[in-house]
Chain A
Amino acid sequence: MSMDITVNINGKEITVKRGTTILEAARNVNIHIPTLCYHDDLCISGICRICLVEVDGERTLQAACSIPITRPVTIKTHTERVRKARRNVLELMLANHYGECYTCFRNQNCELQKLAKEYGVDALKFEHVTEPRYEQDKTSAAVVRDKNKCILCRRCIRTCQDFQGVGALDATHRGYDTQIQAFYDQPMADAVCINCGQCITRCPVGALREKDFSDSVWQAIDDPSKIVVIQTAPAPRAAIGEEFGLPPGTSVTKKLNTALKMIGFDYVFDTNFTADLTIMEEGTELLGRLKDLLVDRKEAVLPMVTSCSPGWIKFCEHFYPKLLPNLSTCKSPQQMFGAILKTYFAQKAGINPANMVVVSLMPCVAKKFETDRPEMTSSGFKDVDFALTTREVAQMIKEAGIQLTQLEDSPFDDPLGLGSGAGLIFGATGGVMEAAIRTAYEIVTGEEAPFENLRVTPVRGMEGIKEAEIFIPKALEEWSFLEGKTLRVAVAHGTANARKLMDIVTQGIAQWHFIEVMACPGGCLGGGGQPIPTSEEIRKLRAKAIYGEDEQLTLRKSHKNPQVLKLYEEFLGTPNSHKSHELLHTTYTPRGVF
C-alpha cells in the first residue's frame, strides 16, 4: 500500500502522506479552513463542525480537522453547500451564546466573533438568548468562568486533562443541558484547579478569563497617599508587544518601563533581581542538601525541585503531597520581591510599608492565587498586593492612551532594577536550571560553567522533559566533597510532563539531584496570562527573544549581581540566613485530590 496519496483540493493537486488530515493537507497549500474546537496544541476533537468540507464520494460534509486522507479524493472547501453549512453552524452557536461583544474582554480577539464576520453572519436566524442562563463563577482567586459565553468546544477540557494532566473540568449532562463543569458542580475555588490559566489562553471565546485587578491598581495609582511599585517578570517583555501588533518574539523591555512610568507607577523594578536572589537561596539550599547527604551522611530529601511556578506548587500539593519536602522552600521571585520591597526597600527609601502597594506584571494567572496565600505575609503586610497578567497591563497601557511601540527606552529604577541574564532566562523552560548551573558550577569549582558563551544547551528547547549531567572535575576546598561527582538534573514544563518525572521520584528510582518544573508549556513565556493566541511556534519565538536579550547583557550570572550582593551585605547576611528564611522561604499545604 503506497504511503503517498494525491488529492485535489479546490483544483490544486497535492501529494500527502496517508493519514494526513484534510485540514493539514489544505494548510500545506495555503488553503484556509476555519476551525474552532481544533487547536495546534491539543488532540483532535472534531465536534464544532465549523471546518466542514465537501469530499467526493461522501454523502455528508466532513470535518476537515479529523478526517484522515486514505484514498485519492477531490475536496472542495467553499462550495455553496459548505458555506451554508458553516453559516448555519455559527448561527446555531450564536443562538446560545449570551453576552455582548463590547463588554467582553475578548472583543476583537475572539475566534467566534472573527468567524461570524468572515462567514457573513448578518442576522440571527435562530434568534438569540436574551437572558443569562448561568451565573458567572468568580469564586476562584485566579480564574473567572462565564458559561453563558461557552460554545462547548472542549478546548479547556483537553488542555486541562491531556495537556496539563489536571482534569479540573469536564463536560457534564447532555444535549442542550451540557455544561463544562468541575466535579459535582463545585465552584472553581473548590475545584482541583492549579490556576495555570492554560484554559484561558486556549478558549476561543470569553468563557474563561483571569480575575481582573487592573481597576484596583488604577485606584492605588490615583491615590496620592500610596506609593505604587511594580516589578516586571521576564516573560511578559517578550510577549506584550503582541498586544500592540508587534510580531511574537519582539522584546520591548525598556519601552515597557517607559509606559509603566507614564501610567503612574512610582518605581519600576525588575523581577530578575529576585530571580537572582532565588538562585542564591535555592542554590545554597541544594548544595546544603548535597552536603547533608555526602558529608554529614544525614537523610537529605533529593531530588530537590524548584518552587518558582505557583501552578506547579498547587499541582504538587494536590497530586503529590508526599513530595512536598522535595520542593525548595524558596518563595517564588515575585513573592521574594514583595517581601524585600516592604522591608529592606521601604526602610531604605523611607516609605511606610503600609502605604506601599506592590504590583507585579506576570505572565501568569496562578500568581494571583499565590499573592493570596496566607503564608505570604512575612513582611508584616500582604507581600504582593496585586499580580497583573501581561494582558491586563496591556489593557492598562491602552487605556492610558500610550503608544507602546513609539516610546523611548528607559531603564529600571534603582536599586532593585538590576537583574542578570540568568534571572532573565527564568522566563523560558530550563532557564532556572541554566541560571543555577551557571552559578553553582562557578561557586563549587571557581571556574565558569563549561558551556560555549554560557549557553547551557541541554536544558534549552521545547522537549517536554530534558535531562543533563554536569561533571565536576575539581572543586574548591569548601566543596571538595563534590569533586569527581556528576550532578544530574532534569527539566519539565507543562504539568503533564512534571507528572512523568514525579512518578519516577515517587517510585524512589530517580537519579536526579535537581529538577526544574514549570507548570506552563514553554515555561513562563507560555504562561496563562500571556497574550492570546499561543502555539508552539509563538512560544519558540518568545524564547528566542529571551535568550537573545540574555546574550546582550554583560551581567549573566546571578551571583555576580552587585545589587544582590549588596542586599546580603546590608540586610540579609548570607544566603539561607535566619533573616532570609524569615522573608524568602515558605511552607506548603498538602491538599490531595479527593
Chain B
Amino acid sequence: MKLESRNNQIAQEVIEIVEKYNFQREKLLQILEELNDSYGYLSEFVMKEVAKNLQLTTTEVYSVATFYSFLNTRPKGKYIIRLCKTISCVLAGKNAVANALRNELGIDFGETTSDGKFSLEFTNCIGMCNQGPAMLINNDVYYHLDPEKAVEIVEKYQ
C-alpha cells in the first residue's frame, strides 16, 4: 500500500477512536492505549493525528506517551519481554534470569532482536513479589523463574 493512502487510513482510524471518546482530552491515555494495541507502537504520525484531533500540542501527547512504560513510541518486537527489576525479584534471583535472557536472545535490555521478534525490557513491580522472579511476555505472566525456566519459556515463542 502506498504510504499516503496508508497514512490516510491510519488518520481515519485515529479519528474513529477519538470520536468514541467524544474528543475528550482527559481520555488521552485510553486513546493512546488503544492505538498502541492496534499498531504495536505510537508512531510520530499517530501522535500527531491524536494531537490534532484533541487540540493538544504534539509535545503534550509525546510527554504522556513516554511517561508510561507500556506505551511504546518506537517500534518494538512482536513479543515484549518485561522482567521485573524491583527489590523482591532481585532478591529472588532476577540478575541470573536477566543474564540468561541476554544470552538466549543475544541482545541487551532496551534492545530488539534483528528479526523484530523480541524486545527485552525491565519493568517496575508487576505485583508478583511473593512469586519472583517474575516477567511478562506481552500480557502473559510468568513467575518462579530461574535461568533454565526463563529460556524454556522464551523458546516457546521462537
A residues sitting closer than 8 Å to B (CB atoms) are: 161, 166-174, 181-184, 192, 593-594
Residues B19-70 near A (CB distance < 8 A): 44, 47-48, 51-52, 57-63, 66-67, 69
With known contacts A184-B44, A184-B47, A594-B52, A192–B63 Cβ distance under 8 A: no
B95 within 8 A of A: no
Which of A168, A171, A184 has the largest number of chain B CB atoms within 10 A? Answer: A184
A181 to B61, CA, bound (A): 12
With known contacts A184-B62, A594-B51, A173–B67 Cβ distance under 8 A: yes
A170 to B56, CA, bound (A): 12
B73 within 8 A of A: yes
Instruction: Please pick, from B44, B48, B52, B62, the residue contacting A172 in the complex, using a CB distance under 8 A.
Output: B62
Q: Are A161 and B57 in contact (CB under 8 A)?
A: yes
* Interface class of chain A by DSSP: loop
Q: Are A170 and B67 in contact (CB under 8 A)?
A: no
28 A-B contact pairs sorted by A residue (CB < 8 Å): A161-B60, A166-B57, A167-B58, A167-B59, A167-B60, A169-B59, A170-B57, A170-B60, A172-B62, A172-B63, A172-B66, A172-B67, A173-B66, A173-B67, A181-B62, A182-B59, A183-B44, A183-B47, A183-B57, A183-B58, A183-B59, A183-B62, A184-B58, A184-B62, A192-B57, A593-B57, A594-B48, A594-B51
Please provide the 7 A-B residue pairs with the shortest distance between their CB atoms, ordered closest to farther: A167-B57, A170-B63, A170-B59, A183-B58, A172-B66, A594-B48, A183-B59
User: A167 contacts which chain B residues (CB < 8 A)?
Assistant: 57-60
Of chain B, the residue at the smallest CB distance from A173 is B66
A471 to B47, CA, bound (A): 50
User: B63 contacts which chain A residues (CB < 8 A)?
Assistant: 170-172
Q: Are B51 and A184 in contact (CB under 8 A)?
A: no
With known contacts A184-B44, A184-B47, A594-B52, A168–B66 Cβ distance under 8 A: no
Of chain B, the residue at the smallest CB distance from A160 is B59
A181 to B52, CA, bound (A): 19
Shortest C-beta distance, B56 to chain A (Å), equals 8
User: A172 contacts which chain B residues (CB < 8 A)?
Assistant: 62-63, 66-67
User: B67 contacts which chain A residues (CB < 8 A)?
Assistant: 172-174
Shortest C-beta distance, B116 to chain A (Å), equals 21
Shortest C-beta distance, B22 to chain A (Å), equals 22
A161 to B58, CA, bound (A): 12
Shortest C-beta distance, B87 to chain A (Å), equals 16
A183 to B60, CA, bound (A): 8
Shortest C-beta distance, A313 to chain B (Å), equals 20
Shortest C-beta distance, B63 to chain A (Å), equals 4
Of chain A, the residue at the smallest CB distance from B66 is A172
User: B51 contacts which chain A residues (CB < 8 A)?
Assistant: 594
**Other 15 A-B pairs with CB < 8 A, given A183-B61, A184-B44, A184-B47:** A161-B60, A166-B57, A167-B57, A167-B59, A169-B59, A170-B57, A171-B63, A172-B63, A172-B67, A174-B69, A183-B57, A183-B59, A183-B62, A184-B62, A594-B52
A593 to B47, CA, bound (A): 13
User: B57 contacts which chain A residues (CB < 8 A)?
Assistant: 161, 166-167, 170, 183, 192, 593
Shortest C-beta distance, B15 to chain A (Å), equals 14
A237 to B73, CA, bound (A): 47
User: A192 contacts which chain B residues (CB < 8 A)?
Assistant: 57-58
A173 to B65, CA, bound (A): 8
Which of B58, B59, B60, B69 has the largest number of chain A CB atoms within 10 A? Answer: B59
A172 to B51, CA, bound (A): 16
Instruction: Please pick, from B47, B59, B69, the residue contacting A181 in the complex, using a CB distance under 8 A.
Output: B59
Q: Are B59 and A168 in contact (CB under 8 A)?
A: yes
Residues B94-153 near A (CB distance < 8 A): none
Binary contact track B63-93/A, C-beta < 8 Å → 1, others 0: 1001101000100000000000000000000
A594 to B73, CA, bound (A): 17
User: A184 contacts which chain B residues (CB < 8 A)?
Assistant: 44, 47, 58, 62, 73
User: B69 contacts which chain A residues (CB < 8 A)?
Assistant: 174
User: A183 contacts which chain B residues (CB < 8 A)?
Assistant: 44, 47, 57-59, 61-62
Which of A161, A167, A168 has the largest number of chain B CB atoms within 10 A? Answer: A167
Shortest C-beta distance, B25 to chain A (Å), equals 13
User: A170 contacts which chain B residues (CB < 8 A)?
Assistant: 57, 59-60, 62-63
Shortest C-beta distance, B46 to chain A (Å), equals 11
Of chain B, the residue at the smallest CB distance from A169 is B59
Q: Are B66 and A174 in contact (CB under 8 A)?
A: yes
Shortest C-beta distance, A163 to chain B (Å), equals 14
A169 to B52, CA, bound (A): 17
User: B59 contacts which chain A residues (CB < 8 A)?
Assistant: 167-170, 181-183
User: A174 contacts which chain B residues (CB < 8 A)?
Assistant: 66-67, 69
A172 to B67, CA, bound (A): 6
Q: Are A593 and B58 in contact (CB under 8 A)?
A: yes
Shortest C-beta distance, B92 to chain A (Å), equals 23
User: A168 contacts which chain B residues (CB < 8 A)?
Assistant: 59
Shortest C-beta distance, A183 to chain B (Å), equals 4
Shortest C-beta distance, A486 to chain B (Å), equals 35
User: B66 contacts which chain A residues (CB < 8 A)?
Assistant: 172-174
A168 to B63, CA, bound (A): 11
A183 to B65, CA, bound (A): 11
A593 to B48, CA, bound (A): 9
Of chain B, the residue at the smallest CB distance from A166 is B57
A90 to B94, CA, bound (A): 34
A138 to B106, CA, bound (A): 36
A173 to B73, CA, bound (A): 11
Of chain A, the residue at the smallest CB distance from B48 is A594
User: B44 contacts which chain A residues (CB < 8 A)?
Assistant: 183-184
User: A171 contacts which chain B residues (CB < 8 A)?
Assistant: 63
Of chain A, the residue at the smallest CB distance from B62 is A183
A83 to B136, CA, bound (A): 44
Q: Are B62 and A594 in contact (CB under 8 A)?
A: no
A425 to B120, CA, bound (A): 61
Shortest C-beta distance, A506 to chain B (Å), equals 14
User: A166 contacts which chain B residues (CB < 8 A)?
Assistant: 57
Which of A166, A183, A192, A593 has the largest number of chain B CB atoms within 10 A? Answer: A183
A17 to B73, CA, bound (A): 47
Which of B60, B66, B69 has the largest number of chain A CB atoms within 10 A? Answer: B66
A172 to B58, CA, bound (A): 12
User: A182 contacts which chain B residues (CB < 8 A)?
Assistant: 59
A352 to B137, CA, bound (A): 71
Of chain A, the residue at the smallest CB distance from B44 is A184
User: B48 contacts which chain A residues (CB < 8 A)?
Assistant: 594
User: A181 contacts which chain B residues (CB < 8 A)?
Assistant: 59, 62
